[in-house]
Amino acid sequence: MSLELLPWTEKYRPSKLSEIFGQKEIVSSLKLYVKEKNMPNLLFAGPPGIGKTTAMLALAHDLYGDNYQGSVLELNASDERGIDVVRGKIKDFARTVAIAEVPFKLIFLDESDSLTSDAQHALRRTMELYVNATRFILSANYSSKIIEPLQSRCCVFRFRPLEEKEVAEMIERVAKEEGLKVDEKAMHALMYVSDGDMRKAINSLQGAALHAKHITEEAVFKNASRAQPKEIKEMMELALKGKFIDARKLLHTLTITYGLSGEDVMLQMYREIDNLQISEQAKVALVDKIGEYNFRLVQGANETLQLEALLAQFLVVKQ
């Protein structure tokens, strides 16, 4: 497929460890593995969009070069998560000998925390049997969902959310390549909606770029289906002042304009609590209330009723 037809998250995905933005400590360790042409089994853990898959692909490209295709097996465990995959595809690939200069092949299991318990136990034995010919890289959003015997067989790398300057560097690179002008407020908006997730930042930029080459704050928020922080803050302040009808009217405007779900609204309300001019005790009470009403939504309660009830609680908290 032509590069022009690829989504920007793939088009600008770093292909070498030296091109990766952020995760410097982890990248430094992976470079040493490439230099030594030897490595243990690895477990990459951390939230989505922070470079786990990119680090694995860059590591594999640096290790194998032109022999990448025959030396790497990449599986998404969320699609193929049963014991049959471990006994079939993985075992068949693991038992064959590497043909590259590197004396082992690589199996990458993305979203390994989706593997069933039986599949994880079967994988444990496979990792031991074929350790001379194959190395495994497991990727997981939640390392706690990986059984302890698998974790103990891996060197664990915990990826952290990316810093704003690291995301900004990548955004500037993409904008330059695509001939875009991103103003300062739009850059802050991209930082806000991405919250350390590089993939989300690039997707938001690409969506906003469909409408104009000049990227504005409004375009970013609208494309990302996020309300502007100042609008959420205004709604919360109206509720705290006892102006419930005005706060409810603004809530309805925001949900219709941006297409926000109930959980989206609550998440943005949670992020604005620190910016409110209220006591620490009141902030603690608001966090508690938002958590309670978010739980109600997860349990299937009506979104509109719960959001309005949450706004009504603000006046009680202030008193």
* 20 shares a domain with 101: yes
Same domain, 212 and 241: no
Whether 37 and 80 map to the same domain: the answer is yes
Same domain, 261 and 114: no
Q: CATH number for the domain including 138? A: 3.40.50.300
Looking at the predicted structure, is the pLDDT value of residue 1 above 50? no
Domain boundary among 158, 176, 193: 158
Q: In terms of pLDDT, which residue wins out, 90 or 81? A: 90
Q: Are residues 189 and 86 part of one domain?
A: no
User: Do 18 and 129 fall within a single domain?
Assistant: yes
pLDDT category at 4 given cuts 50, 70, 90 is low
H or E element that contains 73: strand 72-76
Question: Do 310 and 237 reside in the same domain of the chain?
Answer: yes
Between CA 252 and CA 248 the distance in angstroms is 6
DSSP assignment, residue 273? G
Q: How far apart are CA 85 and CA 153, in angstroms?
A: 20
Residues 184, 236: one domain? no
| pTM for the predicted model, two decimal places | 0.81
Residue 293 or 114, more confident: 293
Q: What percent of the chain has pLDDT over 70?
A: 94
Same domain (yes/no): 172, 312: no
Identify the domain containing residue 10 by its residue range. Answer: 3-158
| Residue at which a domain ends, from 223, 241, 267 | 223
Residues 140 and 111 sit within 8 Å (Cβ to Cβ): yes
CATH of the domain at 285: 1.20.272.10
21 and 79 co-located in one domain: yes
pLDDT digits (tens, 9 = 90+) for 5-58: 678 888 888 888 888 887 888 989 999 998 988 889 999 998 888 888 899 999
Q: Which two tokens stand for residue 210?
A: 């469909």
Q: Which of 184-188, 226-230, 273-277, 315-319 has the lowest mean pLDDT?
A: 315-319
Instruction: Report residue 310's pLDDT band, with 50, 70 and 90 as the boundaries.
Output: very high
The arithmetic mean of pLDDT across residues 243-253, rounded, is 92
Spatial CA neighbour of 173 closest among 7, 55, 1, 11: 11
Q: Of all helices (H) and strands (E), which one includes residue 84?
A: helix 83-85
The encoded tokens of residue 156 equal 């664990």
Which backbone phi and psi does 41 adopt, to 5 degrees? Answer: -70, 145
Question: What is the SS3 assignment for 210-235?
Answer: CCCCEECHHHHHHHCCCCCHHHHHHH
* 202 and 146 co-located in one domain: no
In a shared domain, residues 89 and 174: no
What total number of domains does the chain contain? 3
